Structure 1
């Protein structure tokens, strides 16, 4: 007698045999945009003045761009999570 095996065809163990490949076109697009954003951010290294409501702050432009990118990503993640 041979041992019983169940095979879904993909080896993922999920119901229905759906695959979840690591690199989908959407993930590749997000990765490319993230790399381009980081290149843009780190190419802009000059100092700039930014008004934060009342005070004027002088900081490297890359810091402001990176900070806004992180804040935007957090908002996007929050709203995508609430949508489900």
Structure 2
């Protein structure tokens, strides 16, 4: 057995992330559950509604506005987490 394979544990799992535990942590399960509940809420609200975008007023399905807001929020959160690290 070579020295490299004995350092990795010999199971072929590699170094980074090996032995760190399960992929399903309580935090990840909570995030997935909240994401599913958010999507259910978004797609349950399908009526057309008037929305004011600064000056113009547009009529669109409420789910489109909610989904766009959720995507913008997720992108802002991902950007701030990337900038922090």
Aligning the two structures, in what range does the TM-score lie when normalised by the shorter sequence?
Answer: 0.7 to 0.9
Q: Deviations over 1:9-55 (max 9, x none)?
A: 87532269542521111110110000000000000001110000110
Q: CA separation in 2, counterparts of 1:10 and 1:75?
A: 39
Moved more, 35-44 or 7-16: 7-16
Q: CA separation in 1, counterparts of 2:73 and 2:41?
A: 16
2:70 equivalent in structure 1: 69
Task: Determine helix, strand or coil for the equivalent of 2:50.
Answer: strand
- Total equivalences in the alignment: 82
Task: Determine helix, strand or coil for the equivalent of 2:23.
Answer: coil
Q: CA separation in 2, counterparts of 1:25 and 1:72?
A: 22
TM-score, normalization by structure 2: 0.83
Q: CA RMSD in A?
A: 2.2
TM-score, normalization by structure 1: 0.84
In structure 2, the gaps of 5 or more residues are none
Task: Determine helix, strand or coil for the equivalent of 1:36.
Answer: helix
